[in-house]
Amino acid sequence: MSIIDDGLIPGMNKEGRRFRENVYYIPDVFVSARAMKVAMAPVRPSVGRGRRGLEGSSCARYGLHDIGKNLVGVMLVGAGYDVHDLGVGVSPETFLKCVEETGAGHLCMSALLITTMPSLELTINAAKEAELRNKV
């Protein structure tokens, strides 16, 4: 936890500050996010997986970028959540199957571009139809 709390998270906070100040740009944030994801790999098994329940994390159906998904996923793992990363371009059916199979209490979706936002609504509506919306 010290590696995460004292090293990785402050590092990402610094990167975020640089991005807000227009010192860093999207490509720089991509590199930082990738570095954090790699750094988390050896630490992940020791952070108390499952300690706080299950999270489903993924991009929206038509998502092209996974930076937000990856950043949030790494932060959730660091906080002790199990994250089922479904990747990019995920259909509502795949999301719901993950929720049903894992018993996930949360469903996280990411949409960097406005054009991908309608797919979030499709997934939410599919969850309502499958009577899973009130479970996640």
Three-class SS of the chain? CHHHHHHHHHHHHHHHHHHHCCCCCHHHHHHHHHHHHHHHHHHHHHCCCCCCCEEEEEECCCCCCCHHHHHHHHHHHHCCCEEEECCCCCCHHHHHHHHHHHCCCEEEEECCCHHHHHHHHHHHHHHHHCCCHHHC
The count of domains in the chain is 1
Q: What is the pLDDT along the chain (136 residues), one digit of tens a residue?
A: 788 888 888 888 898 899 899 998 888 887 887 888 788 878 766 655 454 555 566 555 556 567 777 777 777 777 778 888 888 888 899 999 998 888 888 888 887 777 778 888 999 999 999 999 998 8
pTM over 0.85? The answer is no
Q: Which domain holds residue 35?
A: 2-135
Return the CATH number at 73: 3.40.50.280
